[in-house]
Amino acid sequence: MLVIAHRGASGYRPEHTPAAYRLAALQGADYLEPDLVATLDGVLVCRHENEISSTTDVAEHAVFADRKITKIVDGTAVTGWFVEDFTFAELRTLRARERMPALRASNTAYDGLEEIPTFDEVVALARRESVRLGRPIGVIPETKHPTYFRRLGLPLEELLTERILALRLRDDEIMVQSFEPTSLRRLSVMTRVPLVQLIDAESAPNDFLRTGDGRTYADLIEPAGLREVATYAQVLAPHKDLIIPRTAENCLGEPTRLVDHAHRAGLNVQAWTFRAERRFLPTATDYATELTRFASLGLQGVFADQPDQAVETLRKRALNV
């Protein structure tokens, strides 16, 4: 089973930093996951969101004070500083910081130490670590807000395909993921790399909402929806609550048939996101117990904030099978 380092080893280092990606590789992750957004001049960089006030020190740079603005992103008003309003050179003057300092206080020791990495740099890092550690380490980028960026004249699919070709990324080095089916459909005719349809636990894909398509994520995981997903993607990546829902008491309930149905449609399944902090765990269940129960359902991969704990749990499970 693949262990995918969710934004790097984000349980131990500020997410989407070189330090988080390097540590994830060292901890045994099979894939590094960079979320991709685009600068004003079309450079793909790694941030969880295009609004960067919580993940960089931009608010401390007086020269950029006048760029604070409120925008509508995927139907929601967001106030702050946005990647697409900065050239890459300007963005490089900023430094990354921990997004959840109250929860991950130890990560704040790394605030201000590193620049925002580009997609190219994460690929180079993965390749270097593959050689150094003697095992393959891939990348699994996500196109973030692709409909939004396309309307700005920054089409993430074209920008990413250009980099995939320029970097000569092989199919076994990369998978590309998105919550928006339209983004993946575009990529399916631009490149032959494996594609991953992300599925949230509620609501609907933003591209569906923007175009008046009445379907929801729930519709996409019905048998007919899964068969449609399989026409353009190879992997389904659902929120883990869609695989094993939680009860009203926040305990793990009974598994759904989603994994079986996805497999029947020809799709592999990767579940997200496994986090070791108590606030994210089911009641009266530890990390290893939760992950082991999910693994028993036949998943092909898991997204983890603490890759070392996922690797160790799956190793122990394999020894006991």
Choose among 191, 135, 137: nearest CA to 163. Answer: 191
What is the dihedral sign for C-alpha 104, 107, 108, 114?
negative
CA distance 25 to 168: 21
Cis-peptide, bond into residue 182, ω within 30° of zero: no
CB 141 within 8 A of CB 34: yes
The torsion angles phi and psi of 265, rounded to 5 degrees, stand at -80, -5
CB 302 within 8 A of CB 270: yes
Pairing of strands 35-38, 301-304: unpaired
Residue 144 CA from chain centroid, whole number = 9
Active site residues: 6, 48
CA distance 95 to 55: 8
Only one residue has tokens 């409120």, namely 70
Within 10 angstroms of residue 296's Cβ, the number of other Cβ atoms is 11
Pairing of strands 176-178, 195-199: parallel
Q: What is the DSSP string of 203-217?
A: S--HHHHHHT----H
SS3 of residue 85 by DSSP: helix
Only one residue has tokens 């095992």, namely 135
Q: Which two tokens stand for residue 37?
A: 């957004």
Only one residue has tokens 């890759």, namely 307
Query: Helices then strands (H, E): number in the chain?
Result: 12, 13
